[in-house]
Amino acid sequence: MIEFRFHGRGGQGAVTSAELLAQSAVADGKYAQAFPSFGPERRGAPVQAFARIHHGPIHTRSKVYEPDVVLVLDYSLTAIMDVAAGLKPDGLLVVSTSKTPEEVRKDTGYQGRIAVADGIGIAMEVIGRPINNITMLGALMKASSIVPMDILGELVVGRFGEKIGSKNIAAMKKAFEDTKILEAANG
């Protein structure tokens, strides 16, 4: 089983990203679940979402405490929380930032694989808005290839319609191309 934790701020789409990832896995013949973790948060407050993907039924119903993959939509969260907390040493940290993977390693202390893409910059360039949740799924696909990009793209269009969906797919593909990956420090 592969477990994911998404970090974002209210309104950035972390929950939507987790849902689309899970739906893509199901469409690809796998089992999946996605769920948020938030209380009375408001727009801009830190939010977490979770997903699990497996080749068989998933019986676990708890939060993800030791994820294989962490995706961070807002780099400013690294200053107020340990986004890599519980992340497995052989896991993957995917971060939206214009910083290098080496700078992210220094800032977070995480020694496993790190993938970065300037999700906000790409979203502004391609979509015209600083909403990078779908954009960063492209970075996740580059670093993990957990679900086929074409299935994910179909679901994005189904969720947002052709006009908005196609822009998001273009941003996702650009993030895929632009993602920089730093292998584990001990690898």
The tens digit of pLDDT for each residue in 145-186 reads 899 999 999 999 999 999 999 999 999 999 999 999 999 987
Residue with token string 């996605």? 34
Any idea where the domains of the chain sit in the sequence? 2-182
Residue 62 per-residue DSSP state: S
- pLDDT at 42 > cutoff 90: no
Instruction: Give the CATH H-level superfamily of domain 2-182.
Output: Pyruvate-ferredoxin oxidoreductase, PFOR, domain III (3.40.920.10)
Question: Measured between alpha carbons, how far is residue 48 from residues 21, 85, 166, 169 in Å?
Answer: 15, 13, 26, 23
pTM of the model: 0.94
- pLDDT at 40 > cutoff 60: no
Q: Can you tell me the mean pLDDT for 19-42?
A: 88
Q: What pLDDT shows up at residue 160?
A: 94
- pLDDT at 41 > cutoff 70: no
The proportion of the chain whose per-residue pLDDT surpasses 90, expressed as a percent, equals 86
